[in-house]
């Protein structure tokens, strides 16, 4: 996921942090100009973590790879305690942010992923951190932030290669939250065209051409059972409809209630469903 952290300085460029300047004014100007050129060449004073610290970062990565989230958080935290100003700190923040995300500590995940994205010296890590921030925002129901992060990531990434498929899917979902159904279809169409065999394409196929949000109350294998339940609910609660969908290769008859343009409008209306809303799924529908 993350390349081994570099422990050497840029080849041929010595570290430049300070330089005594003596002699004439012309000599001082020449020396300062030389410092400026060196700073431009090496990107300023870049401090790298030492070998022991780099091993800690490797341990954090290994822990994440075996789904040891607490180990990842501990090792990355130990690294950052002494190396938060090093060039490798962006990778440590990214790893710890992902681990926090998996443990559902979303505020901590958001903080670390934001630090990783802001500090990342390489485009690859910046894209990964930005995508993770978009995923987190979408999961939290913040469609505006998700849309912003996904759009920023798309400006930097190679849209012909993964994870562009996942970014397009996430962006499409965020647009559907806001009721921008046609714009969402643009993302899903492109995803299906460019990545027809990726898992995200299967998910996009379920959401493309949807027009509204609805509450899915139940799913039946038989149409007569779905219609009977719809008739029963009509006597005691909200009006429902029976729709069809292919789920995992099987035709299902879906009992649905409501038709809402935006996710927010559907959530507000869900309060009128009473106990039915507790077990209902809010889903896009055609």
What is the set of domains in the chain, with CATH numbers? 51-207 (1.25.40.10), 212-285 (3.30.70.1070)
Higher pLDDT, 3 or 234: 234
How high does pLDDT run on average in the chain?
85
Per residue in 36-70, pLDDT tens? 443 344 445 679 999 999 999 999 999 999 999 99
User: Is residue 5 predicted with pLDDT exceeding 90?
Assistant: no
Helices then strands, each counted (H, E), the chain: 12, 4
Torsion angle, alpha carbons of 105, 106, 110, 113, to 10: 60
Predicted structure pTM score: 0.79
Among the ranges given (5-9, 26-30, 244-248, 271-275), the one the predictor scored with the smallest mean pLDDT: 5-9
User: Is residue 273 predicted with pLDDT exceeding 70?
Assistant: yes
The answer to whether the CB of 132 falls within 8 A of the CB of 98 is yes
**Candidate ranges 14-23, 196-205, 251-260; pick with highest mean pLDDT:** 196-205
C-beta contacts of 190-194 below 8 A and 24+ residues apart? 191/165, 194/159, 194/160, 194/164, 194/165
The confidence score (pLDDT) of residue 251 equals 92
The answer to whether the CB of 217 falls within 8 A of the CB of 257 is yes
Higher pLDDT, 42 or 169: 169
51 CB contacts (<8 Å, ≥6 apart)?
Answer: 7
Alpha carbons within 13 angstroms on the beta-carbon side of residue 236 total 7
The confidence score (pLDDT) of residue 25 equals 54
User: Is residue 143 predicted with pLDDT exceeding 50?
Assistant: yes
Determine if residue 274 is left, alpha or beta; phi over 0 gives left, psi from -120 to 50 gives alpha, anything else beta. left
């Amino acid at each position: 996921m993350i390349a081994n952290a570099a422990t050497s300085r840029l080849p041929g460029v010595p570290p430049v942090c300070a330089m005594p300047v003596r002699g004439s004014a012309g000599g001082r100007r020449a020396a300062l100009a030389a410092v400026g050129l060196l700073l431009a060449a090496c990107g300023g004073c870049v401090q790298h973590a030492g070998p022991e610290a780099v091993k800690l970062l490797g341990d954090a990565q290994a822990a994440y790879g075996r789904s040891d989230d607490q180990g990842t958080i501990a090792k990355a935290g130990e690294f950052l305690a002494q190396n938060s100003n090093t060039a490798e700190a962006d990778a440590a923040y990214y790893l710890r942010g992902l681990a926090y995300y998996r443990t559902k500590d979303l505020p901590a995940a958001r903080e670390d992923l934001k630090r990783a994205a802001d500090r990342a010296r390489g485009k690859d890590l910046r894209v990964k951190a930005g995508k993770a921030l978009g995923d987190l925002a979408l999961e939290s129901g913040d469609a505006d932030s998700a849309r912003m992060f996904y759009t920023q990531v798309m400006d930097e990434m190679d849209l012909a290669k993964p994870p562009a498929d996942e970014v397009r899917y996430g962006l499409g979902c965020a647009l559907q939250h806001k009721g921008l159904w046609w714009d969402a279809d643009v993302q899903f169409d492109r995803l299906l065209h460019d990545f027809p065999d990726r898992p995200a394409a299967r998910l996009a196929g379920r959401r493309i051409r949807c027009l509204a949000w609805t509450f899915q109350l139940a799913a039946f294998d038989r149409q007569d059972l779905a219609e009977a339940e719809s008739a029963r609910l009509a006597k005691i609660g909200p009006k429902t409809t029976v729709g069809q969908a292919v789920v995992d290769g099987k035709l299902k008859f879906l009992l649905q209630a409501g038709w809402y343009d935006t996710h927010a409008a559907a959530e507000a209306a869900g309060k009128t469903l009473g106990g039915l809303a507790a077990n209902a799924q809010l889903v896009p529908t055609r």
